[in-house]
Amino acid sequence: MISQILFIAITLAAIALFSFNLKKVIRNIKIGKAADRTDQPQKRLMTMIRVALGQSKMVVRPIPAALHFVVYIGFVIINIEVLEIMIDGIFGTHRVFGGLGSLYNFLIGSFEILALGVWVGCAIFLIRRNILKLKRLNSPELKGWPKSDANYILITEILLMSAFLLMNAADAKLQAMGAHHYITAGSFPVSQFLQNILPASEGSLIAIERGCWWFHILGILAFLNYLPYSKHFHILFAFPNTYFSNLEPKGEFSNMQSVTNEVKAMLDPSFTPPEAEAGRFGAKDVNDLSWVNLMNAYTCTECGRCTSVCPANITGKLLSPRKIMMDTRDRMEEVGKNIDKTGAGFDDGKSLIDDYITREEIWACTSCNACVEACPINIDPLAIITDLRRYAVMEESQAPSSINAMLGNIENNGAPWKYSPADRLNWAKEN
C-alpha cells in the first residue's frame, strides 16, 4: 500500500514538473514573432507522418539510420510496457496484462528483442562518439555540456534497457520457483540468458526484480524531466516541427511585408501604408526571429548533418549551421531566465548577434540550402542566418565593404557590377 501511494505521488510530481517546464519552453518559443504555418493542413500532416514518424530523411546515411530506427521503434513500442507498469504501480497488481496469454508472451518477447536492439544501438552510438570520434560528432561547438548531454542520454537508455531485461530475468526465475504473486506470464527470449548470473534465493530475486522495476519507471520519469534541458527534446518536438515546416520551395525567401508597405509608399505617393507595427528589420535577438525559428532551436538534436554538408564549414570557415541552432536555443533560454527573474522587457544588454553568433559566421553562408535539405526533421538554419543579415544590412548598414559596393551598383546601375544599363544589350551586337 505504501509503495502504491509512493508510486502515485512520484508519478504525479514528475508529470507536474514536466508540465511546468514544458510551459516555460512554450512561453520561450512565443517570444518569437508571429508566422502563419496553418495552411495546407493535409500536406502538413503528410509531411509529419513521412518525415517524423517515417523518418524518411534519415535513410541518406544508412548506418546511423538503421541504428536510430531500432532505438526509435524500441522507444515507442517498449513504452506500451510502461502502461502496464503504471497500472501495476497504481493498483499493486503484477503483470496485469498477463491474462492476455499468448499475445502477452508475444509482446514481452518482442520488447525483449527490441530492448536488446536499443542496448546494442546505444552502445554503438557511444563508440561512434567517444572511440571512433566521428568528425560530425566531435566538432568544436560540442565541447562541454553538449558532449556530456549526448553521453548521458545514451548511458541512461542503456541502463533503462538493462534494468528491464534484468527485471524480466528475475521475474522468470521467480515464476519458475512458483513464488507468491509472480504469476506465470511472458516469454523471455533475451533475458533467459541473464538468469545464470542471478542469485538463487527468493528474497534476493524479489529484491532485484523490485529494484529493477522501480529503477526502470523512475528512470523513465527522470528522463522525461531531463528532456527540457537536453538536445533529446527532439523525440517530442520532431512532430510539431515537421508539421509546421516550410512547404514552399527552398530557394524562396519570404518577402517582408513591412518592407513591401514602405517600398510601395516610396514608388507610389498615393499609397497609404497600413499602420506599421513597431519592430526592427531582420533579427538582432531571438525576439526578432519567428516562433518557428525558435521551435526549430528546441527541436535540434545536434546530430550535425547540417554542418557536415555545409560548404563553408567543409572548407574550414567558422560557420556551422548546427551552432546557429544551438546558439539560438542558448540565447532563448537566457532570455527566458531573465523573464523569470525580472519579468518581460528586461534588457541584459546582450543579443543573439555578436554575443552568440558572429558576423564572420553569417557572412560565410552561400545560402545553398544543403543544411536545410540535410536536416532529418526539417530545421531551417538558413532562415535565421538571413534574418541576422537583414538586421546587419538594413538596421546597421554593416555589411562587408564588397557587399556594400555590390548593393550600390544594383541601386545605381541595376546590376551588381559597375556596368552602364545602356550597355545591357551589347552582347547581342558584338560579333
Partner 1 sequence: MSEKLNIEVPTMAEMIARGEEPEILFWVGCAGSYDERAQKTTRDICKILHHVGIKYAVLGTEESCTGDPAKRAGNEFLFQMQAMTNIEVLNGYNIKKIVTGCPHCFNTIKNEYPGLGGSYEVIHHTQLIQDLINEGKLKAEGGESFKGKKITYHDPCYLGRGNGIYEAPRKALEVLDAQLVEMKRCKSNGLCCGAGGAQMFKEPEKGNKDINIERIEEALETSPNIIAAGCPFCMTMLSDGVKMKEQNQNVQVLDIAEITARANGL
Q: Please identify, among the stretches 136-144, 191-199, 220-228, 244-252, the one whose residues bind partner 1 according to the rule CB under 8 A.
A: 244-252
For the record, the C-alpha cell of 230 comes out as 537536453
For the record, the C-alpha cell of 150 comes out as 549526448
From residue 205 to residue 234, the character string flagging contacts with partner 1 as x (rule: CB under 8 A) and all else as - is: ------------------------------
Taking alpha carbons only, the member of 289, 305, 320, 326 closest to residue 377 is 305
131 binds partner 1 (CB under 8 A): no
Q: Please identify, among the stretches 24-32, 167-175, 256-264, 341-349, the one whose residues bind partner 1 according to the rule CB under 8 A.
A: 256-264
Distance of CA 425 to the CA centre of its chain: 51
347 binds partner 1 (CB under 8 A): no
56 binds partner 1 (CB under 8 A): no
Binding test (CB under 8 A) with partner 1, winner from 134, 222, 318, 339: 318
SS3 272: coil
From residue 60 to residue 79, the character string flagging contacts with partner 1 as x (rule: CB under 8 A) and all else as - is: x-------------------
* Cα dihedral: 152, 157, 159, 164 (round 10): 160
Q: Please identify, among the stretches 104-112, 171-179, 231-239, 398-406, the one whose residues bind partner 1 according to the rule CB under 8 A.
A: 398-406
Which residue, 167 or 312, is less far from partner 1 as judged by CB?
312
203 binds partner 1 (CB under 8 A): no
Q: What is the C-alpha separation between 169 and 159, in angstroms, rounded?
A: 15
Positions 258 through 287 that interact with partner 1 (CB under 8 A): 259-260, 262-264, 266-267, 281-282
Which residue, 62 or 427, is less far from partner 1 as judged by CB?
427
431 binds partner 1 (CB under 8 A): yes
Minimum distance, C-beta of residue 71 to partner 1, in the bound complex (Å): 25
Q: What is the C-alpha separation between 430 and 215, in angstroms, rounded?
A: 81
183 binds partner 1 (CB under 8 A): no
Kindly list the distances between the CA atom of residue 365 and the CA atoms of 219, 247, 296, 372, in Å, as whole numbers in the listed order. 42, 22, 19, 12
SS3 365: coil
Taking alpha carbons only, the member of 201, 168, 17, 202 closest to residue 98 is 168
412 binds partner 1 (CB under 8 A): no
Q: What is the C-alpha separation between 47 and 100, in angstroms, rounded?
A: 36
Please say whether the beta carbons of 223 and 79 come within 8 A: no
Q: Please identify, among the stretches 121-129, 205-213, 246-254, 334-342, the one whose residues bind partner 1 according to the rule CB under 8 A.
A: 246-254
Please say whether the beta carbons of 83 and 111 come within 8 A: no
Taking alpha carbons only, the member of 80, 102, 85, 76 closest to residue 167 is 85
Distance of CA 301 to the CA centre of its chain: 4
Q: Which residues bind partner 1 (CB under 8 A)?
A: 60, 248-253, 255-256, 259-260, 262-264, 266-267, 281-282, 309, 311-312, 314-319, 360, 363-370, 372-373, 386, 388-394, 399-400, 402-403, 405-407, 410-411, 414-417, 419, 421-428, 430-431
